[in-house]
Amino acid sequence: MLDFEKNYLVTISFLGSRYHGSQIQKNAVTVQQIFQDALYETLATDGVEIKCCSRTDSGVHAKAFCISFSVPDSLSEFRFISRMNHLLPEDIRVIGLKEVPNGFHARYSSTGKRYEYYIWNHEIMSPFWEGRAFHERKKIDSQKVMNAAELFVGTHDFSSFCSIKSDVEDKIRTVKEITLQEKEHDLWVLSISADGFLYNMARIIAGALIQVNRGKLTVSDLEAYLNGRPRDNLLLTLPAHGLYLSEVFY
């Protein structure tokens, strides 16, 4: 029996295009499966349980996705990262490793996350952002969008801003910050920080703001959804390929 003394938090970055999401599933290639295979080879054991910060959907990308696990002995940061990156495919990279206290859990110890939603805003899609940003033709009016985005900041019941597939009971979440910036010409990034995200919440908030920009929803509509109006077809879920998990807070 292994005696686990050291707890580690590893941060990875991945391009999600080729993967059926982060969580292990049968008959599908997932980031967690590929990571776990490389980890077991690096540690020369498969007796290690890994804990992921969240489940991401098929096609979602991550700039910083966190995974924790315990091992009996100390790991060398440099050797661990080199070995893992040698084994992993090029669209998944280990970017950090640090020791964390016993009991630390990548998911339950997290105090929040930041997601970014990338939008290519031009009549013609960029070949460089295909599969990496949502294509929106309607010119973004950042003042109009930010005026609506302010509504989400604070503690709200996000029941109308999550997939019907969500199985959590408590749908109250606190959005700490929303920003919208033109990162480069025609490329906009919507950044949302919250203490937690319901299933599809980031993609539905992004969809609501796109609908406001298109004039299909008003600020009053968003207020109504936040106050119990059930989700309908006007509340779009934007595609997974524009979404990036960008920070996990501990």
List interacting residues with a copy of itself (CB under 8 A): 13-15, 61, 81, 85, 90-95, 124-128, 130, 132
Q: How far is the CB of 12 from a copy of itself (least distance, A)?
A: 9
Cross-strand pairs, 181: 189
Q: Smaller CB distance to a copy of itself: residue 61 or 156?
A: 61
Q: How far is the CB of 163 from a copy of itself (least distance, A)?
A: 26
Q: Smaller CB distance to a copy of itself: residue 16 or 207?
A: 16
Instruction: Establish whether 221 is a catalytic residue.
Output: no
Catalytic residue chosen out of the listed positions 37, 57, 141, 170: 57
Q: How far is the CB of 100 from a copy of itself (least distance, A)?
A: 20
CA-nearest of 195, 187, 108 to 158 is 195
Q: How far is the CB of 220 from a copy of itself (least distance, A)?
A: 36
Q: Smaller CB distance to a copy of itself: residue 5 or 130?
A: 130
Q: Smaller CB distance to a copy of itself: residue 81 or 238?
A: 81
Half-sphere exposure of residue 196: CA atoms within 13 angstroms, side-chain side: 20
User: Which sequence positions are flagged as catalytic?
Assistant: 57
